[in-house]
Structure 1
């Protein structure tokens, strides 16, 4: 990893995935190839999830997860951004893209891709790419490639997680009480889920990519064992001190800010470009949808951008129940959200 204060690594990439993805799909996709496997997996209560290798995955993404596991060929400088759903994924995508692309796209510039595209258009959701059968388009991306996944650490390809694995992984999570609230606002309207149903699903470990505590602990333990390859971030820490965490992210990605960049205010420019106020105000994030299988309104990714909103939705008993589950699951690991 480059030393702090050195000249940032210059590269051809990244470029927005949308700029290389024309939306076309091949004649045959993994859905047909793996239909028997998916059909044989235990089904979730509402039918939209399947239990695959101890985790509940959205049924339509299981084929993509399987093919990603089996066929993904990483590059040494790949960066995979990982998270449970509704835990700061959009913000992390924006920050990582702005950091990695700052040489060719100055963050204060009017032509920056994040001013015309949603962060999800810039950094591809890798299970969806493989589920569509268009993974060859990943080869069109110059290095370093940025990709995103909601898969647990144990479901990542061995070429990424092994001792000599390629690439780096950046993980973000948040207080699970706030995750529940964000999940409900995001998924509730399209899936006709009440707040109580989302809360119960998280507590039971049956919501998508759950059990979420196992998801979080998988990446936490990997970050402890391989700190040079797995960076563990908390949404609340990013809110409290975005500048320090952007520097930490850049250093981990091998692209630290130089002294000249620091003096010129580059860190502040990245933070300002990617902050909730800026992102929510851009026309690119107000209209249209994101997602090839289920289209979510771009504006739905920018609701509040705060911590602690759970207090407006949960009873004290609900909060105590979830806190108790998390405390029991995390006991002895060194991880907490207090």
Structure 2
């Protein structure tokens, strides 16, 4: 019997709501591990790499989160435009209650991660099991989990998923700079070259990233009414068009009157990277996701910054990996050269 089955038996036998430390430690000891970037170790769990607290939360999500047909779930690889996607989605879904130009709009006073909570970092973090019965409907939620790790209720219900992906080159650069800011000093320095090698091997949070992307991409092809697959670069190039596509998919399409009144452009402007980054609530404080400063959630938010950081050999290596891993899938990325 596997350690996962033992844990499940223990939980059922004792009718436990949360996972005991003893059995969780046994689980970790059974998993492949490598050196982590912001924790001492990172572990391969159910085919993807996670920190211990993420694994603990995922186990709880898989056991205790039941998706409802009206749930709207935003999914991303870390540092792929998550904060922006949350802001846009919140503004779309709640625009009847909160007009984009009102001075007390929640996005002007709260970080987007507080308004659209992560399943694994907020709701089910630290071995807690939240009571979600009183959440306003639709429940707007977020995750970095791969599609295959989501509970069966996500796949079997009528809930919808919006997946935002960024080209792997810019994603790596953004991840590296983010980790460089929040990495505990006790773990020592972490070079760009070392981080890049791990990235190319898929040993990053919720990686391999190509498996993460392909899971949502292929499901969006099979079931386009279930999964909307968006590209960061296309959203930056034509935000209004992509915003209308997102609103239609979520079930909150813009009316002709709203479009004529500039609501689409107004939401795009309010939720722009430049505007969000300049808000006091996003420059001060910490804890919007976990216990690090909110300002670290914003760096450049642009397209093509990878050319300033990657050597020709790095570009060649990552290009070859992408061509190999995404071959015949139909998924590709336009790169700014």
TM-score range, shorter chain: 0.7 to 0.9
Matched with 1:41 is 31
1:144 aligns with one of 138, 141, 145: 138
Alpha-carbon contact 1:220-1:232 (below 8 Å) kept:
yes
Q: Against the structure 1 CA distance between its residues 37 and 229, is the aligned structure 2 distance closer, same or farther, given a 3 Å change threshold?
A: same
Q: 1:269 to 1:134 in 2, by over 3 A?
A: farther
- What do residues 229-268 of structure 1 show as CA deviations (whole Å, max 9, x unaligned)? 1000110011000000110010000010011111111101
**Is residue 247 from structure 1 mapped to residue 247 from structure 2 by the alignment?**
no
Corresponding residue SS for 1:333 = coil
> Would you say the 8 A contact 1:188–1:194 is kept in 2?
no
Per the alignment, residue 18 of structure 1 pairs with none
Supply the distance in 1 between the matched residues of 2:26 and 2:101 (Cα, whole angstroms). 50
Q: TM-score, normalising length from structure 2?
A: 0.88
- Whether the 8 Å CA contact 2:53–2:126 is kept in 1: the answer is no
Any stretches of 5+ residues in structure 2 without a counterpart? 1-16, 184-188
Alignment partner, residue 182 of structure 1:
174
| Correspondent of 2:100 among 94, 103, 107 | 107
Q: Does 1:74 align with 2:67?
A: yes
Describe the SS at the equivalent of 1:170.
Answer: strand
| TM-fit CA distance, 1:291 | 4.9
User: 1:161 maps to which residue?
Assistant: 155
Task: Give 3-state SS (helix, strand or coil) of 2:267's partner.
Answer: helix
Give the deviation of 1:45 after TM superposition.
Answer: 2.2
CA-based RMSD: 1.6
Gaps of 5+ in 1: 1-27
TM-score normalised to structure 1 length: 0.87
* Higher RCO (CA-CA < 8 Å; seq separation 6+): 1
Runs of 4+ in 1 over 6 A off after TM superposition: none
Q: Mapping of 1:1-338 within 5 angstroms? A: 30=19, 32=21, 34-46=24-36, 47-128=40-121, 129-162=123-156, 165-191=157-183, 192-291=189-288, 294-338=290-334
CA drift of 1:310 comes to 0.2
- How many Å apart are 1:134 and its aligned residue? 4.1
Displacement of 1:140 in angstroms is 2.3
**1:274-330 CA-partner distances (Å, limit 9, x unpaired):** 0011101110000111356x4221111111110100000001110111011011100
Match for residue 9 of structure 2? Answer: none
